[in-house]
Amino acid sequence: MSKPRRIPRHRAWSVLTLPALLSLLAACSSGPAAGGGDAAAGAGASGAKGGAAASASPTPTGPPGTLFDSFHYTGPDDPAFTDHGWEAREGAGGPGVKDTWSAAGASFPTDADAQGGRVLQLRSSTDGTKQGTEQVEVQTTGARFLNGTYAARVYLSDKPGSGRNGDHVVQTFFPISPEDSSANYSELDYEYMANGGWGSVGPQLDTTSWYKADPPDRVTHALKQHLQGWHLMMITAVDGKVTYSLDGKDLFTSSGKYVAREKVDVHFSNWFIDLMPSLGAGRTWDMKVNWFYHKADEAVSQADVQKAVDGFYAAGTDYVNTLPKP
C-alpha cells in the first residue's frame, strides 16, 4: 500500500469525497459489533511516516462528538500539544515514588511499527533511589469526557529498554476526575504490571472501576497474561455500564455505582510502585501510545473504531475535536 498523502489538518476533511465522508461518519457512529485483534498492527508499516509536527491550527470539521489525536507533535512544549488540550505532568504528588514526575520522559519519536509512523513515548527511569527516579504522565485538560467510547492503541513493555529487569512498574491508561475529593469521583483504569506489585505476582493487567478514592471503593478484574507489544485498549461507558475490552475481547464489566459520574480527563502514565535499589544500575521503561480516540455518548465496536481511525490517517488528519465545549 502506498503512503497516505499528508495534507494540512485544517483542510483534511474538505478534500474527502462524499462517499468517503459518509463512510467515515457511519464508522464513527456505529453501534457494537464483533471484532478482534490489534487491527492496526499491520498498518504501521504502510501508514504515513511522521514528519515534523504541524503548528497549531483550527480544529478540522469532522463527525460530531469525536476526538482523535495521532500525537504528531515535536515535544511537550509544542504549542499545538497545549492548544489541543494536553499537558505533561511535572513535580509533586503520587502515585508511586512521590514528587518524581518529569515532562522530560514524554516525547514523540518516529516508530516503524506505529500506524502513521509516530507515537507518544512515555519513558520512566530509575536507579532505585528517589533522586534517580523519573516518572512520566501525559493527560488532557479541561475535563471534556464522560460517557461514550474511549480507545487507544498502546504498546506495553514486559522488560526495561535498558538495565536489569524486576521493577514494579505500572503502565496505565485511565479516565479520571480532576479532583480526588470530588463527591462524584470517577476513575476507569487499565493498569499493566509486568512484574506485579502490591503483593501480586506479574504479569497482571488490572481493569478497575472506582466509586471513591479515599477510602478506596472499587471493583476490579485481573488478567494474568504477558502483554508485551501493541494492543487496542477500549473502555465503553454507556447505558449505566462500563466495559473494558482488549484487542476486541471483553475483559470486565462494571455497573451500579461503579460508572463514570462526572466529566473526566484522560491520562497515560508510566510509574513505579516502589524503589528497588537491589537491581543496581539505572533502568528505563517505555510505554507508547499510537493514537487516542473518543466518541461521546455512543458505543462503538473495535472494528468500527479502527475503521474510523484508518479514515483519519488516510485523509492525513492528525487531530479532530468536535466535542461540545465545556
Instruction: Please give the share of the chain, as a percent, with pLDDT higher than 70.
Output: 81
User: Is 209 inside any structural domain?
Assistant: yes
Confidence category of residue 208, pLDDT binned at 50, 70, 90: very high
Lowest mean pLDDT among 54-68, 137-151, 173-187, 276-290: 54-68
For residue 47, is pLDDT > 90?
A: no
Q: How far is CA 129 from CA 94, 268, 270, 292, 302, in A?
A: 16, 23, 17, 33, 41
Write out the E strands in 127-193: 136-140, 148-156, 169-176, 187-193
Count of CA atoms in the C-beta half-sphere (13 A) of 93? 8
Instruction: Please give the share of the chain, as a percent, with pLDDT higher than 90.
Output: 79
Which three cell numbers, joined as nine digits, stand for 102? Answer: 518529569
User: Is 41 inside any structural domain?
Assistant: no
**Angular region, 30: left φ>0, alpha ψ -120 to 50, beta rest:** beta
The predicted structure's pLDDT at residue 18: 33
User: Is 306 inside any structural domain?
Assistant: yes
Which three cell numbers, joined as nine digits, stand for 79? Answer: 504549542
- Residue ranges of alpha helices (H) inside the chain are 18-29, 79-83, 302-314
Count Cβ atoms within 10 A of the Cβ of residue 98 and give its class: 0-12 exposed, 13-18 middle, 19 or more buried.
exposed
Confidence category of residue 61, pLDDT binned at 50, 70, 90: low
The predicted structure's pLDDT at residue 62: 74
The predicted structure's pLDDT at residue 325: 81
Q: What is the mean pLDDT of residues 137-158?
A: 97
User: Is 146 inside any structural domain?
Assistant: yes
What pLDDT digit, counting tens, does each position of 85-128 carry? 999 999 899 999 999 999 999 999 999 999 999 999 999 999 99
User: Is 188 inside any structural domain?
Assistant: yes
Average pLDDT value over all residues in the chain: 86
Judge if the upstream peptide bond of residue 203 is cis by omega within 30 degrees of 0.
yes
The predicted structure's pLDDT at residue 34: 34
Number of domains in the chain: 1
* Residues near 22 by beta carbon (within 8 Å), at least 6 away in sequence: none
What is the spatial distance between Cα 237 and Cα 39, in angstroms, rounded to a whole number? 22
Q: What is the mean pLDDT of residues 200-214?
A: 96
The predicted structure's pLDDT at residue 38: 63
The predicted structure's pLDDT at residue 185: 98
The predicted structure's pLDDT at residue 118: 98
User: Is 263 inside any structural domain?
Assistant: yes
Lowest mean pLDDT among 7-16, 21-30, 133-142, 181-190: 7-16
User: Is 238 inside any structural domain?
Assistant: yes
CATH of the domain at 275: 2.60.120.200
User: Is 33 inside any structural domain?
Assistant: no
Identify the domain containing residue 83 by its residue range.
65-321
